Structure 1
Amino acid sequence: MQNKNQRHFSTVRSGVLVAAVSIFMSSAALAQQAAAPPPPSVTTVNIATSSVPLSYQYAARISAFRQTEVRARVNGILLKRNFVEGAQVKAGDVLFLMDPASYEAALMQAQAGLKQAQAQLSQGIREEKRNISLFDQKVGSQKSRDDAISARELAEAAVASAEAQVKTAELNLGYTKVTAPISGVTSLEQVSEGSLISSDSSLLTNITQLDPVYVNFSFSDAEAREIRHLIDLMKSKGQEQKLRVKLTFGDGSTYGSEGLVDFTSATVDVNTGTIQARAVIDNPDRQLIPGQFVRATVSGVTADSAIVIPEVALLQGPQGQFVYTVGKDGKAKINAVTLGQKVGSNWIVNSGLEAGDQLITEGVIKVRPGSAVNATAQAAAADAGKGTKETAAN
């Protein structure tokens, strides 16, 4: 009887323990279910392609459009300077006067020699006519006729030589007035008045043309390929392909006029690995000075069908840069991306995203790969703006 009661008590106790364990497990499950966080809320943008204007920024340096040396073309004494040093002069202005006396005398001598040669030619022509007439009348000899013809031909050659000497003398006399070969700004006078000038070595002054001026900078070879590719695409569509240049000074202010790129080197500089380029820009107020450093922003190309994402969506991982997108199942997905140029506060994506992808732009810190998210679509993507890529020129 006692054993039977013990077995009954043991059975009851086991049932109580099973019930208690079941109640505990149910409570734990309910507690765990109550503690599980809801999917994180994120904001997404529907990826779409667009045409994005690009620009590139370089350190640049101003150089003169033209710079020439003014030298004497004849020897002589420098009598007078006709310009103010550092002033603007025009092409053809008389800058210096040299003593013309010896060259005036040389011209008079050459003119006298010309008259003498012309007189001899007139005499030769008369002798030729006379001897030809006598020969036709069977009175003169053939030798006399031939001698007369030769004398006339020699006289003509003497006249031509005398005319050349007169021309040379006129040129030398004209060279005593030293004129400006180009329009521009003069430098300091190099030789004082009263000095003996030699045409071989005497530098009188320099003239620098400052309107327009050149802007010199350098592309990297990768950027040059990219720009050429974009220009070729624009050409195929019949669009304008001119590269424009805007200048910025060291204090952040911008120059009022834009220039155009007029030259790009066909070879890569072996010392710097860059490609030299040059733009021409108007400088009527002489704000741009040769040797001055500026920052040049080159624009005029457009990237078609570009994907642009906001910088806030971009993350950095051990394998590189990536973004999160939301798949059709509502779960977050990692997309490794390759970036192109920065466009304002956004980036152009070269690979890793496609049009139609749902990009997570806000709440990315709370996202875990493969986890569900509560996505809210953003009304519109951020404005791409205007891109600027900075490159240091040599």
Structure 2
Amino acid sequence: MTTALSRDCPALPPAPRPTRARAPSGAIARTAGLLALLVVAACGGGQPPAPAAPPPAPEVGVVVVAPERQVVTTELPGRTTASLAAEIRPQVGGIVQKRLFTEGAEVRAGQVLYQIDPAGFEAALAAAEAQLSKARAALATAESNARRNAELVKIDAISRQVHDDSQAAAQLARSDVEVASAAVRTARINLGYTQVKSPIAGRTSTSTVTPGALVTANQAAALTTVTRLDPLYVDITQSSTELLRLKNELASGRIRRDGNGEAARVAIVLDDGSTYAQTGRLQFSGVQVNPGTGAIVLRAELPNPDGLLMPGMYVRAVLEAGVNEEALLAPQQAVARDPAGNASVLVVTPEDKVERRRIVTGAAVGNRWEVLSGLAAGERILVDGSQRVRPGDSVRPVPWTPRSQGKAEAPAAAAGNAG
């Protein structure tokens, strides 16, 4: 007797072999039928199994894109420059007697830095003053003769020629006095130049001469340099292409100037990556493009009360170019790029479906990209869980929390679970 069974049911055990003490044939048939009924009941009557339930939609972290007020900045290379610098050179020649300042110290405007031997200039001044006295005495005699001859010529006591000569002699004597007076002033100025003074207030550099050195008037080598370090200038280089792009954005109204009427603020990033505590102001923008580099020069004025910055330092200047009142920003980890560099994001539609969207990004703002096109305010972009889904999949979106905040909240959540 053959019994048909399903694939999931085990085979029937073989019928026991009859022993020598043969059982009645009716008893064997009843036993086989009972076994078949038990097997069929155990296999569910041959019905197929119920289908498995579909897996739940994966959970993903999303961020809702909302317009924000964003200050548009541009980071440019620059170098610090002294706002005032004076190279100190002697205006008369002689032997340096004294150096009257400490190298690297602050000096006042008009402070004496060097003393040149004044002996020769004092003698020149005395000689000039003597010449002036002689000229004044000659003038007194000439004027007395001119006055007397003017009276005599009226009564025809002298000739007209004698009168004219006396008047000319008096005029010549007056000119001699003026020449002698100018010589005295020149000698006095030269004597004053023996004291080499600082024309500005600032900090001195090293001295190139010592007492006993011979210096000459207007020599090529400076004795020292005085530099004013507060405020300091920062000369910034900007490409003409970037300048044109900024002007086009301003003209289109996408960004606008800050309406406070003040000059644009400039933040400084130092060579070690730290940000300088003081904020500067843009002073002017260049009007000519360097034909070799295609760049123009901007100049900012920066407070330097502690003297931390020095002329010639390389810095990065973060310049505020304008304000975008409705900027759309996307986390950088949500933005993917193809081999051609095109940016895209995964957008969660209102039906909780995943959709890939091509976008155009602008400048980096912290850890986010500015989105110029491709997204609208209120749309949800997928930030966490992109490895588990593909475009077209259904998802269960939840608000995304930055990793730094999640770490801070993790101990509190663990403490709550422990309680």
TM over 0.5: yes
- How many residues get paired? 351
Secondary structure of 1:337 counterpart: strand
Partner residue in 2 for 1:49:
67
- Segment of structure 1 superposing worse, 151-160 or 260-269: 260-269
Name the CA distance, whole Å, in 1 between partners of 2:345 and 2:298. 37
Name the CA distance, whole Å, in 2 between partners of 1:241 and 1:377. 44
Partner residue in 1 for 2:416:
none
Name the CA distance, whole Å, in 1 between partners of 2:63 and 2:383. 7
Q: Which has the higher contact order (CA 8 A, sep 6+)?
A: 1
Out of 90, 99, 117, which is 1:99 matched to?
117
Highest CA radius of gyration, 1 or 2?
A: 2
Q: Please give the per-residue CA displacement for 1:53-75, whole angstroms capped at 9, x wherever unaligned.
A: 23334454434333332222112
Name the CA distance, whole Å, in 1 between partners of 2:310 and 2:238. 23
Shift of 1:206: 2.7
Shift of 1:116: 2.0
Partner residue in 2 for 1:215:
234
Partner residue in 1 for 2:91:
73
Partner residue in 1 for 2:322:
301
Contact 2:73-2:322 within 8 A present in 1 as well: yes
Contact 1:65-1:211 within 8 A present in 2 as well: yes
Shift of 1:363: 4.4
Name the CA distance, whole Å, in 2 between partners of 1:379 and 1:43. 4
Matched, 1:341 2:359: no
Out of 334, 344, 349, which is 1:313 matched to?
334
CA, structure 1 residues 308+241, in 2 after alignment: closer, same or farther (shift >3 Å)? farther
Q: TM-score, normalised by structure 1?
A: 0.74
Partner residue in 2 for 1:277:
298
Out of 244, 248, 251, which is 2:266 matched to?
244
- Segment of structure 1 superposing worse, 173-182 or 262-271: 262-271
Q: Percent identity?
A: 35
CA, structure 1 residues 172+237, in 2 after alignment: closer, same or farther (shift >3 Å)? closer
Contact 2:59-2:385 within 8 A present in 1 as well: yes
- Segment of structure 1 superposing worse, 42-51 or 67-76: 42-51
Name the CA distance, whole Å, in 1 between partners of 2:276 and 2:124. 55
Q: Which has the higher strand share?
A: 1
Amino acid at match of 2:238: F
Matched, 1:161 2:179: yes
Contact 1:79-1:193 within 8 A present in 2 as well: yes
Shift of 1:266: 3.1
Partner residue in 2 for 1:392:
none
Partner residue in 1 for 2:135:
117
Q: Please give the per-residue CA displacement for 1:23-80, whole angstroms capped at 9, x wherever unaligned.
A: xxxx99x95xx67666655555544333202333445443433333222211222222
Contact 2:98-2:116 within 8 A present in 1 as well: yes
1:1-394 map, 5 Å: 42=60, 44-137=62-155, 139-201=157-219, 203-228=222-247, 234-235=256-257, 237=259, 239-248=261-270, 250=272, 252-299=273-320, 301-317=322-338, 320-326=342-348, 331-369=353-391, 371=392, 373-374=394-395, 376=397, 378=399
Amino acid at match of 1:341: A
Partner residue in 2 for 1:13:
none
Q: Which runs of 5+ in 2 are unaligned?
A: 1-47, 403-419
Q: Which runs of 5+ in 1 are unaligned?
A: 1-26, 382-394
Secondary structure of 1:51 counterpart: strand
Name the CA distance, whole Å, in 1 between partners of 2:222 and 2:261. 49
